[in-house]
Amino acid sequence: MLVRGGRLIDPSQGIDALRDVRITAGVVVEIGQDLQRYEGEDIFDATGACVAPGFIDMHVHLREPGFPEKETIATGTIAAARGGFTAVACMPNTNPALDSSDVLHDLRERAARDAVVRVVPVAAITLGRNGETPADFGALTQAGAVAFSDDGNTVMNAKVLRDAALAARGVPGAFISHAEDEDLKADAVMNEGVVSRALGVAGSPAVAEDVIVARDLLIAADTQKNWHVAHLSTRGALEALAYGRERGARATAEVTPHHLLLTDETVRERGADGKVNPPLRTEDDARALRDAVRDGRIEVFATDHAPHTAAEKSGDLRSAAVGFTGLEIAVGAYARALPDLPLARFVELLSTNPARVLGIEGGTLAVGSRGDLTVFAERTWRADPSQFASKGKATPFAGWEFPRRAIATIVAGNLVATS
């Protein structure tokens, strides 16, 4: 394939210029200007668009094994491709949890059969994600795990977490924190504040996140295990992140589209469609997150794509499922949240940095690298959940207008999605 006429943005090589990219046998073999087409070579005309190393979402719930009514590897990766993602890291809150070599081997076989983009697994920190017994990190790494998390649950026992971090120092995969103190959170369904009190529902205070980020990064500094904070949502957690780094923690952090753009007022307006963990916070928190993206304190954009059935997301706020779909709106939502963000920084957050944090191929279009490309353009569009490929149709962004979208997704030189 020859991708021709686009503005190539590759921060890994310091390129921001009109360039053509040639892919042969799934590998980038040439970058240049006005490259001539070889006989039999497919052409993708990227004139007027940007070409980037394939976007990577390092926080996705594909729901397999165990919950095919919510999502499957097939539907989830089609949604990823439509959203411009060439690779996704899938979280371990499946049934069974991704806590053994056998389960990981089964997942990889399913992905090899059904996925249209690359799928890399994030394995559990503790067996069954129950917070009690550390998993076998060496065996999980050999089975393909690229990171470790009990996402959806917090490892509440600090000794268990520290022992796990010490045991995992010999493997490269980072620990990923789901930062919510379960005791402080209790039965909360949204952020604690003016809106939760007006709605008469239990709220989770920001400090429930802040204290776990602080604790986990102190453990990270103590054990020298590389660490990543998932779906950071509060100003206080940003301060804890800075403190942990000052103490020697090798820590990175991600932010979601919804925590950049939405507040707890969304729950008042959209009900269960705005229910998510950690909850949507205040405008002050969202502003702090946007500032942290701009100045580099947050290194990664990630969706926390968490699809559910329509029945699970309907009804009373207290009983509705937590989370919503995100893969197909992400590129547009990030652009709307941060319209002043330089495009090179945009690509770093979606491609270069996720590849580096996960330690996987990608994040570059240097000659010899994987032929995974995302082509995106400044095109206004409106989110219509009825058109989503994901089985999960719930989103607080239904009907929103976005200024940017992925228009082509190329995996190993194969065009897997266009819009």
Taking a C-beta distance cutoff of 8 angstroms, is the pair 244, 175 a contact?
A: no
Residues 89, 369: Cα–Cα separation, whole Å: 19
d(CA 343, CA 321): 35
Residues 377/405, Cβ–Cβ less than 8 Å: yes
Decide if 398 contacts 47 (C-beta within 8 A).
no
Domains and CATH numbers, the chain: 55-362+388-402 (3.20.20.140)
Mean pLDDT value of segment 114-123: 98
202-252 pLDDT tens trace: 999 999 999 999 999 999 999 999 999 999 999 999 999 999 999 999 999
Total count of residues recorded for the chain: 419
Q: Is 304 a catalytic residue?
A: yes
CA dist 94 to 64, 160, 273, 360, Å? 6, 21, 22, 22
Of the residues 304, 316, 340, 372, only one is catalytic, namely 304
Residue 400 has a pLDDT of: 98
Task: Output the pLDDT for position 315.
Answer: 82
Percent of the chain with pLDDT over 70: 100
Give the per-residue pLDDT at 245.
Answer: 98
pLDDT digits (tens, 9 = 90+) for 338-394: 999 999 999 999 999 999 999 999 999 999 999 999 999 999 999 999 999 999 999
Do the Cβ atoms of 348 and 11 come closer than 8 Å?
A: yes
pLDDT in the model for residue 351:
98
Tabulate helix, strand, coil % of the chain (nearest 5).
35, 25, 45
